Amino acid sequence: MSSRVPSVGLRLPPVGGPAASTVFVTDAVPAPAPAVRRLAAGLLATTLRGMAALAALAALAGLAGLAGLAGPAAAAPAPYKQPSAAIRELLDAPSLPRLIPSPDRQALALVEQRRYTPLEELARPGLRLAGARFDARNASQQNLLAVQRVRLRSLLEPEAAEREVELPAGGTWHNFLWAPDGQRFLLSRRTDTADELWAGATSNGQLWRIYNVRLNNAVDADDIAWLNAREAVVLTVPDDRGAAPNRAQTGPAIQETHGKASPERTYPDLLRNPRDEDLFEHYARSQLTLIDVASGQSRDIGAPGLFTSVSSVGTGQALLTERLVRPFSYNLTFDDFPTVVEVRQRDGKVIRELVKMPLKQGVAIDGALPGPRVFYPSPTRDAAIYWVEALDGGNPATRAAFRDRVMRLDPPYTGDPFEVQRMPYRFTRLRFLDDGIHGLLTEEDRSRGWSRTYLLPLNGKQSRPLFEHSVRERYRHPGYPFMRTLGNGHQVAQTLNGDLLLSGQGSGPKGDRPFLDKLSLKDLSVQRLFQSAEGVYEQPVALFEDRRLLTQRETEHEPPNLVLRENGKVTPLTRLKDPTPQLKGVRRELVSFKRNDGVELSFWMYLPPDLREGEKRPALVWAYPLEFNDAAIAGQLSGSPGRYMSFSGISPLNLLMDGYVVLMDATMPVVGDSRNMNDSFIEQITANARAIVDKAEDLGVVDPRRIAIGGHSYGAFMAVNLMAHTKLFRCGIARSGAYNRTLTPFGFQSERRSLWDAKDVYLKLSPFLFANQIKDPLLLIHGEADNNSGTFPMQSERLYQAMAGLGGTARYVLLPFEAHGYTARESAGQVQWEMSQWLKGCVGDPRAEARPRPAAGSSASQ
């Protein structure tokens, strides 16, 4: 196991003298990471003066061991910390198994997945090329959601015996997948040298390996193209791949631009030089392989290529493939590299090259490639292929009556394609109905944030609008197509006697109540078939031909379980037990209120189990800002009091067990025209925050003088802006955020203007530039290997350096090997310890202050 430990930078105000004191604590074995060394070099390191300074450091940071040190601060190990026993117990509670019905709705798989990724797995050597992160030894993704146990049973017989799938020892099992007919299933196993493919029988759980198959998921192309219930095509490592190229770097890496605008977002893990190009080409090269899951046999078809996608066409009549070709880019990820789209025979032979999409360079912000893009194979016997073409050159600034059109090409794929539909707005998605003659075509007017869905006759006849709504709509959202799996593995929208089935959240002022509707495709009338009762959260899973309905039901303290509904009779099919009964003492309430301009706001108030009547506790507000075009929609509530109470390893809700009140999912709407709504971002989040604090005080359980603000990613960006521009919060917690918008110059979140188009806005929204105004303590946490666009660890590093240089109070924690979300058990514990200790230092220990004081004249141990 790796000995890496979190790197911690601490900045404290002067103690015992005018000179600022800074200590940097990091790992000693092995040497610090380059980012840590750069941070250390950038700090204004001086000597801590006296025991008073050391004691103050220990009190603020919770590092009790430092209180006894004497002499100058020095580099020292910072081992992973453990949160309180109550939080640790929550973090180590077992995960609930996933309940996965088979496509034929006869069997059920109970799949238990590993809750955390071991540090030694995160630390495995890997390559980061063109936006892909993978283990070169076995061509798999570095961070896998591992499967620890699989059990099978009859779906509709609650008392049926379970069949244990015996997983051979060794390696990491992952990616459970049903075959289309439900008679078999697939599992992958990553070893040191390969990502293997195994098949199993539903009847007895017996496993067998698909021989001579080493899956290639280097570019996350884990597609499986089912031809029928037993045959499929997968992407594998070519037998002739050989050793990786080892081109020496003999000169500088050079890039050029020649007057053509090419605004790109900022991405991590890009190619940097010709050697990277060679390595990417070597490892991304895959072989199309036909497998027979029943016999375990396989054979290669066609020639290898840099395949990123393979799918079957129709009922297995053909294959649709996408493969990358040079030239590659040093500014874009592989998703935007030149791509050749081809239709092939079942034996892999190319029938026709449909298009060579160019490098996605020079495309306007929020624009699209000119020419064909986004390909869809028909899931039915007609075996047609559909794609989208821009009619405005892909530029949203171009005035055009129609933005996109949908094209269709029929077998044998040698003739001319024909136009199926033109759209006034930008194409979003195409789904197929199970009737074989209709599709659902969705477009979006991005300037308004408006979505429209059509019923599309696939033969080219006139389409009909079905519904339209704001992309943020919740209360009047019509729902999404209710999907089912065909015998060829394709997902299609389910119909019932010619009517379209739609399922949705059923949001309303009292919370979410999932529903299943039937939409008449003749007169567009709607009939509600099912809706969850109040106080529970029950969502449709499958509708049988005889109208029996399979649902997944949960309550606040009952985990999700499957239920069969038939003629008013409700039959529980599973009985999973609550692994965290200690949360039954937690109280949760949805609180609604308004900000000063009338916009509706809300938060979920969570109260710790030991909160006493009339007591006021310190609180943490956790939020994430969202943009809206309409104030009425911004005020729509989300969530349900019937949702099962379960916390992720890094959720701030775990702090309830240390006695804090948590105001979770506090709404932070930013309302306005999408073209310029960020002009008032600071003013609006300030108004939101002020309303949240006022409402928290009104409720009588929160001490308004002891409230902290926190968030993750864009929520962290919000939190630091509030710290810089308001005095509403005693301290802040910011995880994996971006704080200098000049480093994301071509847009962020929903901002479509560039830095040079809206310089004042970018500067105003960069809390890094207002670090001198952050007067209250700020905890910064970041994953060392953050893979999210724009949130490089340098964002937290530079903000910390700014606060250190300006005399602010901050703590910076860099988690080894972690990406944008933190997945190791050690990291989860460290994050909870950091947040809890930080809150104790700035808003106080709620339980210490809640303890009754000794009566006058009595003695108390010290």
Q: Which residues are catalytic?
A: 713, 786, 820
What is d(CA 22, CA 801) in angstroms, rounded to the nearest whole number?
Answer: 11
Contact 486, 492 (CB under 8 A): yes
How would DSSP label each residue in 353-403? EEEEEPPS-SPPTT---SSEEEEEE-SSTT--EEEEEESSTT-TTS--S-S
Pairing of strands 495-496, 661-671: unpaired
| Burial class of residue 21 in the structure, from the number of CB atoms within 10 Å of its CB (0-12 exposed, 13-18 middle, 19+ buried) | buried
Torsion sign across C-alpha atoms 813, 818, 822, 825: negative
Strand partners, 464: 455
Angle, helix 34-42 to helix 793-806, in steps of 10 degrees: 20
**What phi and psi, each to the nearest 5 degrees, are found at residue 204?**
-135, -5
Query: Going by C-beta distance under 8 Å and a sequence separation of 6 or more, which residues neighbour residue 589?
Result: 604, 605, 607, 641
Contact 622, 655 (CB under 8 A): no
Query: Going by C-beta distance under 8 Å and a sequence separation of 6 or more, which residues neighbour residue 407?
Result: 372, 386, 387, 388, 389, 417, 418, 419, 420
What is d(CA 433, CA 456) in angstroms, rounded to the nearest whole number?
Answer: 10
Helices (H), 621-769: 631-634, 681-699, 714-725, 759-764
**Where do the DSSP E strands lie in 227-371?**
231-236, 287-292, 297-300, 306-313, 318-324, 339-344, 350-357
- The neighbour count for residue 5, using CB atoms within 10 Å, is 21
DSSP 78: -
Torsion sign across C-alpha atoms 736, 740, 746, 752: positive
Nearest CA to 368 out of 316, 413, 309, 427 is that of 427
| Burial class of residue 64 in the structure, from the number of CB atoms within 10 Å of its CB (0-12 exposed, 13-18 middle, 19+ buried) | exposed
Strand partners, 860: none
What is d(CA 60, CA 777) in angstroms, rounded to the nearest whole number?
Answer: 10
Contact 753, 747 (CB under 8 A): yes
Strand partners, 628: 671
Give the CA dihedral 294, 295, 301, 307, nearest 10 degrees.
50
Contact 79, 28 (CB under 8 A): no
| Number of helices followed by number of strands (H, E) in the chain | 12, 50
Nearest CA to 111 out of 126, 87, 95, 123 is that of 95
> Two tokens at 93?
């509670």
Please state whether 205 falls in left (phi above 0), alpha (psi between -120 and 50) or beta. left
